[in-house]
Amino acid sequence: MSKKEGSDCVKVKKYVEQQNRPYSVNDIFLNLHKEVGKTAVQKALDQLTAEGTVREKAYGKQKVYVYNQELFPPLDETQLKEMDTRTAELCTTLKEKETQLCETEGMLKQLMSTPTTQEAQKKATQIEAEVSRLQQKLSDLTENRVLVSKDERDKVVKDNDAMTKQWRKRRRIATDILDAILEGYPHPKAHLYEEVGVETDQEAGVTLPKT
């Protein structure tokens, strides 16, 4: 056996022993990241099989190789029970981590779909401006006693109700976000509002219509 063949044989033996599971020649070739040629893997396995280090089993045309289990030191009953207990503990931990992962992914998805404070503030400002415009238009029409059709009036009322609903919804979203931030914020609410540039309804001179 050449020096190169001996080195390849050592690599194959070490891998099969460490993994301790059945592999085909192609599996070992790929798992060693092609460090050992496929032909060299087969030669090494033939050599190890002849030595009794590896067992060969045939399944039809397919052959698999596994490390000779008799070469491992025997495990006593206590060690086996400890391993079984440890395996059960790890399985339980794995299930818990998988559950936590699912919950965290769900929370992340929800947070990703929730508008940022800046987006909510911008939308709220737009809605407030639109509501104010419609309220002014409604006031002008009322004061000037301009006759409008029932359909036009109903549309104005419907639009006003829709905008007010959006205003109330966006205002609630912004408030919830700010309240969540305040839970871990070291300063008063007024300081946070000033820092992020939040303008309240009172500061804007508008009042949310009553339902």
* pLDDT digits 0-9 by tens, 3-35: 888 889 999 999 999 999 999 999 999 999 989
Q: Is the model's pLDDT at 146 over the cut of 60?
A: no
The predicted pLDDT at position 28 comes to: 94
Q: pTM score, two decimals?
A: 0.40
Cα 25 from Cα 72, distance rounded (Å) = 22
CATH topology for the 3-71 domain: Arc Repressor Mutant, subunit A (1.10.10)
Comparing C-alpha atoms, which of 81, 84, 65 is closest to residue 19?
A: 65
Where do the structural domains in the chain lie, given as residue ranges? 3-71, 111-204
Query: Would you state the structure tokens that stand for residue 175, as one six-digit string?
Result: 């408030």
The answer to whether the beta carbons of residues 134 and 128 sit under 8 Å apart is: no
Cα 88 from Cα 83, distance rounded (Å) = 9
Over residues 121-142, mean pLDDT: 84
Mind listing the pLDDT tens digit for each residue in 149-199?
Answer: 788 888 888 888 888 888 888 888 888 888 888 888 888 888 888 887 888
Q: Is the model's pLDDT at 147 over the cut of 70?
A: no
The predicted pLDDT at position 113 comes to: 79
